[in-house]
Amino acid sequence: DMRHNKTHVFVARSPFHLFIVKNIVGNCLDENDIVIVFYEGRQIEWQGKPVQVEFVQLGQYVTSKGAWATATDNLKTINRRLNMLEAPVSVYMTDTRWPTNNQLYFRLRGNSKYELSVFAEGLASYIDRGDRVGLAIKSLAKYLLSKIRLAAPYRPFISDNLGYLMPGFHCFYAPQADRVRVRARKVELPMRSSSLGAERRDNALLFLGQPIEQKLPNEIDQLPILLSTIEKVKALGHAQLFYKPHQFEGRFAQTVFSENGFVILDQGGVFEEWVGDQWRGKAIASYFSTALATAGMLLPPEDVQLYSVEFERVAGLYLNAKDKQLLRNSLALFKCKFI
């Protein structure tokens, strides 16, 4: 129901978001429509079609000194560009508890110039936390903190974890959209690769690294986890072993994996685009990376097996017992095995 030459504005902050945005543009929009993408994530360039997209790199929003000022500057940049556009304008966002999206949502909702839609955040989209009281308290805390900081203003609300149940969204775009509880009309994104057949795939395993040094800064504390992981992965019997570093992890884990027979991959670009187009192995493993779920969305389950290695040990560094169980249940939806 998109109209010819309509303007579509996307707000994203991760490579996965860009991957979703490209799928929406490629599958749902007219080739002559105007596309503007605001990106808050780590410095990256827009690659691929449509080449005429207006890509605006914003300041990276991080939970450190200067983050509030960065978020405020990003909001001003987006608002200035929106004010220059003629109606009608479709605006797509994800997590509406994120400061930038939070403000955009409350500013644009009810304005006939804008049609609001929402797209998948990532694995979090498929986790129904259900704790409305706890979420309301967190939302109120964010609001009070924004008042104290006098920057990046925040509007509290009671909804689901990502705000998908808030009124005013026209469509929700996601792979396997039926698994997500939303008010908006669900639009399924056809992202799964066609089956090659397991017998035609290489007997290879790809391990996705995670920055465990954030919780274990001493290498001597990381080493038992790394060596145990390597032992368990090797026991699976794959002839070729590859390791893809996380963008925020250091060199130590790469060195340990490399010394134990793994080929280090640093292909660059967006993982979601690479794995669907180029990965021809039979297995993908990680500790508890949400990229496992992404791979489960993109790759035929009859072709590729997913593994979570040392889940309890590593996820326990980051998550409480409830969130850990929710994450485990969500990965299990994508036929992930735990070893």
Q: Cα 81 to the chain's mean position, in Å?
A: 25
Strands 7-12 and 34-39: parallel
pLDDT digit string, tens, across residues 312-335: 999 999 888 888 888 898 888 888
Residue 323 and residue 127: Cα distance in Å, rounded?
A: 9
Judge residue 220's burial from the number of C-beta atoms within 10 Å of its C-beta, 0-12 exposed, 13-18 middle, 19 or more buried.
Answer: exposed
Per-residue pLDDT, 128: 66
Would you call 208 helix, strand, or coil by DSSP? strand
- Quote the radius of gyration of the chain (alpha carbons, Å): 21
Find the helix or strand (DSSP H, E) in which 161 lies.
none
Residue segments in the chain with a per-residue pLDDT below the cut of 70? 1-4, 47-51, 61-67, 128-131, 150-151, 194-196, 198, 267-270
pLDDT score, position 66: 62
d(CA 12, CA 127): 20
What does the mean pLDDT of the chain come to? 86
Dihedral sign from CA coordinates of 75, 79, 80, 81:
positive
The pLDDT value given to residue 216: 93
Kindly provide the b/e burial profile for residues 147-167, where b requires at least 16 CB atoms within 10 angstroms of the residue's own CB.
eeeebbbbbbbebbbbbbbbe
Task: Give the pLDDT confidence score for residue 208 in this predicted structure.
Answer: 92
What is the tens place of the pLDDT at every residue in 117-171?
Answer: 999 988 778 776 666 777 788 888 888 877 777 667 788 877 777 888 889 999 9
Q: Would you call 290 exposed, middle or buried from its count of C-beta atoms within 10 A (0-12, 13-18, 19+)?
A: buried
Task: Return all residues near 301 (Cβ < 8 A) that are at least 6 apart.
Answer: 334, 335
User: For residues 293 and 305, what is the distance between their CA atoms, to the nearest angstrom?
Assistant: 11
pLDDT value of position 61 = 62
To the question of pTM greater than 0.85 for the whole model, the response is no
Peptide bond just before 50 cis, omega within 30 deg? yes
The residue with tokens 């496992």 is 292
